[in-house]
Chains A and B, each alone.
Chain A
Amino acid sequence: MPDHDIHVHYVTRVEGHGDIVCKTNNGVVEKAEFNVVEAPRFFEAACVGRAHYEIKDIVTRICGICACGHALASLRASEAAMSIEPSEQTVDLRKIVLHGETIQSHFLHTYFLAAPDFLGVGSVIPLASSHKDVVVRALKLKKLGNDISETIVGRHVHPITLKINGFSKLPDPAALKAIQKRVIEALPDIEATVDLFSTIKVPELYRETEYISLGPTNGDKEYPFYDGDIISSLGQSYRPSNYQQVCNEEVDPKHTAKLCKHKAPSYQVGALARFNNNYNLLRPEAKKIAEKLNLKAPNHNPYNITMAQVVEAVHVAYDLIDLIDKVLTKGIKEENNKYQPKAGTGAGAVEVPRGILFHSYKYDSNGICQWADCVIPTTQNVRNINEDMKTLVPTIIGKSQEEVSLLLQMLLRAYDPCISCSTHLINVRFE
């Protein structure tokens, strides 16, 4: 049996910098782990001392992919802290922009980051040579997601018009109608995506873990992305304000990201966690696709996160069409979105493409931020990725070093990690 000594420094096709280390000795796994080595970025500290109306514009810069998700978690936290209830129109428009981002991000991951592994090429550039139609379709779908964002919030990333309690500029109904038409026209491309992924067989790995996501509040029938309670597959449920009881962040000197743990030794967030926890709330069109992809809830193979993203993309596309219909039928109206800043602490929980995201702030009576906390999906997944790697390596130990390395990288990439977002400052204390 070959022994392995693998150190993948800066894994490619993920956002940010992370290393994989795997060492075996006489067929025994000594080490199989994923380390986050990205430099910390100090966003939480940057929020302290800034005014309530500036916070969203600061934290949206945490990520260039799920910038709207960060903005929405931030607005929800600020609104919770100041007891502000945004209007139904604001909530519906926010849901549309979040769906646009999910489309953009899921197609980016499934096509450009994950598909090259499944189709046996090193990156998207050779993929463009061997499967030109696939790359052209992927670019088109990703652009659709970006254009949804641009239509609603004024820029394809880093939203401008999203504000506490409303919008600084409402979208033009005609532009919204045009976007809806493009979503409808994109349905055949989405169907072709499903066809492509239905031919792909993901690597095998079975490990039951705890799945954490938003879940419906009070019997709500919507597959939750924008609001809901925090639920665990092990049965507990929390209001977003109690998010710290879920993630229990702690510092590990090996990582620049913190580590999280709930009831099980580790937990998973993201598309598969949502799929497992909320399968019954998926639209029928998406359930049909899950069947076609042979994906049943609960599914305990993390390589299937990519497949769950395909299912969610279908759900989101159909939901977008209906949501835009709802907003246009009711008519977009200027609303009074004034509010009075006040002292308080609040948390927001939003499902962004890579999983549940928490933001929380404390404000003083002038609306100046005194404390900020952002718990990013990848941070929550780090421990689970490590547990998966420990389970995976003994099952593939007989393979060549290259194959083991590839399977470990594919596992990491399945989580669609956003490592740049996940880094935190580690406090160093000298004694």
Chain B
Amino acid sequence: MNTLVVGLGNTLLGDEGVGVHIVNVLKDQPLPPSVVLKDGGVSGFDILPDILESDRVVIIDAAKMGLVPGSVRSFTLDNVQMPDGPEFSLHDLGLPQVLKLGSVISSLPPMLLIGIEPKKIAPGASLSEEVTGQMENILEYVYSAILDFTKEVVN
């Protein structure tokens, strides 16, 4: 069994890169043995082979959910409705299109999507004060969500 934990986002666009920041912090944490961490960056398309080769996948990304910035929620594919994206274009290829392509090729593995409400999506390599201020809670949430999802214990 392997569990792919992938952080998505552009670290040059403030909170847009929060998923990547979190994966980078997780690298220094004790994690369940099955977990493989990946910085998915902005090339969503390139993570598809890794998703299809994994037994379970956790995706961490900024998500506009209409909540207070720094809030964190998790979803499974059954309880989110993926929007119909634009026609395939490298420029705009987002997670919904990647997952759609994946589901046409093969059946997707069980997935957990973790969304973090952003405050600032604008040029800059740092996270907003609001998201930084909630980082401890976010990490705790993400960490427990991974443990719940994998049902593994950390050695």
Chain A minimum-CB-distance residue to B103? A128
B90 touches A61 (CB 8 A): no
Main secondary structure of the interface of A (DSSP, over half): helix
Known contacts A64-B42, A129-B104, A132-B105; A139/B88 CB under 8 A:
no
Q: Any chain A CB within 8 A of the CB of B82?
A: no
CA distance A157 to B46 in the complex (A): 10
CB < 8 Å neighbour of A65 from B41, B49, B90: B90
Q: CB distance B87 to A123 under 8 Å?
A: yes
Q: Are A156 and B101 in contact (CB under 8 A)?
A: no
Q: Which of A143-177 contact B (CB under 8 A)?
A: 143, 146, 155-158
Type the 1/0 row for B86-97, where 1 means its CB is closer than 8 Å to any CB of A.
111111000001
Which chain A residues border B90 with CB–CB below 8 Å? Answer: 13-15, 65, 108, 112-113
Contact B104 A128 (CB under 8 A): yes
**In chain B, what residue has the closest Cβ to A419?**
B91
Contact B46 A146 (CB under 8 A): yes
Shortest CB–CB separation between residue B42 and chain A, in angstroms? 6
Q: Which of A17, A61, A146, A155 contacts B12 (CB 8 A)?
A: A61
Contact status of A135 and B88, CB under 8 A, knowing A142-B46, A156-B46: no
The verdict on A12 contacting chain B, using a C-beta distance below 8 Å, is yes
Instruction: Out of A14, A64, A124, name the residue touching B101 (CB < 8 Å).
Output: A124
Cβ of A1 < 8 Å from any Cβ of B?
Answer: no
Q: Which residue of A lies closest to B104 (CB)?
A: A128
Assess the A125–B43 pair: CB atoms within 8 A.
Answer: no
Contacts of B39 in A (CB 8 A): 155
Tally B residues with Cβ within 8 Å of A: 19
CB-defined contacts of B89 to chain A, threshold 8 Å = 12-14
Q: Are A139 and B49 in contact (CB under 8 A)?
A: yes
Contact present for B46 and A135 (CB under 8 Å): no
Question: A-B contact count, CB below 8 Å?
Answer: 59
Check A128–B101 contact: CB distance below 8 A.
yes
Contact call B87/A12, Cβ cutoff below 8 A: yes
Does A49 make an interface contact (CB < 8 A)? no
Known contacts being A13-B88, A65-B90, A420-B91, is A135 close to B105, with CB within 8 Å? yes
CB atoms of B46 and A125 under 8 A apart: no
Chain B contact residues, CB within 8 Å of chain A: 12, 39, 41-43, 46, 48-49, 86-91, 97, 100-101, 104-105
Q: Which of B12, B49, B91, B97 contacts A125 (CB 8 A)?
A: B97
Give 21 pairs: A residue, B residue, CB < 8 Å, sorted on A.
A12-B86, A12-B88, A12-B89, A13-B88, A14-B89, A15-B90, A17-B91, A61-B12, A64-B43, A112-B88, A123-B87, A124-B88, A128-B105, A132-B104, A139-B48, A139-B49, A140-B49, A143-B46, A157-B41, A158-B41, A420-B91
Q: Lowest 8 CB-CB distances: which A-B pairs, in order?
A: A123-B88, A128-B104, A143-B49, A12-B89, A12-B87, A15-B90, A139-B49, A128-B105
Closest to A128 in B: B104
A125 and B101 contacting across the interface, CB-CB below 8 Å: yes
Contact of B87 among A122, A132, A157 (CB under 8 A): A122
- A264 interface hit (Cβ, 8 Å): no
7 further contact pairs, Cβ within 8 A, besides A125-B100, A128-B105, A136-B105: A12-B86, A15-B91, A65-B90, A122-B87, A132-B105, A156-B43, A158-B41
Other-chain residue from A16, A124, A129, A158 in contact with B91 (beta carbon distance below 8 A): A16
Task: Return chain A residues, CB-CB under 8 Å to B87.
Answer: 12-13, 122-123
**Whose C-beta in chain B lies nearest to the C-beta of A133?**
B105
Q: What is the bound-complex CA distance between A39 and B12, given in angstroms? A: 17
* Distance of A9 from chain B, by nearest CB (Å): 12
Give chain B nearest CB distance to A121 CB in angstroms: 10
Near B by CB (< 8 A), chain A positions 110-130 give 112-113, 122-125, 128-129
- Of all chain B residues, the one with the shortest Cβ separation from A15 is B90
In the complex, chain A residues whose CB is within 8 Å of the CB of B104: 125, 128-129, 132
Tell me how far the C-beta of A144 lies from the nearest C-beta in chain B, rounded to whole angstroms.
Answer: 10
Q: How far is the CB of B103 from chain A (nearest CB, A)?
A: 9
Chain A positions within 8 Å of B100 at CB level: 125
- 1/0 per position for A2-17, CB-CB distance to B under 8 A? 0000000000111111
Q: Which residues of B contact A64 (CB under 8 A)?
A: 41-43
Q: Which residues of B contact A17 (CB under 8 A)?
A: 91
Question: For the complex, what is the distance from the CA of A112 to the CA of B104, rounded to whole Å?
Answer: 15
Distance between B6 CB and nearest chain A CB, rounded to angstroms: 12
A130 and chain B: residue at smallest CB distance? B104
Chain A residues whose C-beta falls within 8 Å of the C-beta of B91 in the assembled complex? 15-17, 420
CB-defined contacts of A125 to chain B, threshold 8 Å: 88, 97, 100-101, 104
A155 to B86, CA, bound (A): 28
Nearest A residue to B100 via CB reads A125
Distance in Å: Cβ of B98 to nearest Cβ of chain A: 10
Which residues of the other chain, B, contact A112 by a CB distance below 8 angstroms?
88, 90
CA of A142 to CA of B50, assembled, Å: 12
The distance in angstroms between the C-alpha atoms of A142 and B46, with both chains bound, is 8
- Most B C-beta atoms less than 10 A away, residue of A108, A128, A146: A128
**In the complex, what's the smallest C-beta–C-beta distance from A120 to chain B, in angstroms?**
15
- B19 to chain A minimum Cβ distance, whole angstroms, is 16
Bound Cα distance A42, B25 (Å) = 32
Residues of A within 8 A of B41 (CB): 64, 156-158
Closest chain B residue, CB of each to CB of A142: B46
B106 to chain A, nearest CB (A): 8
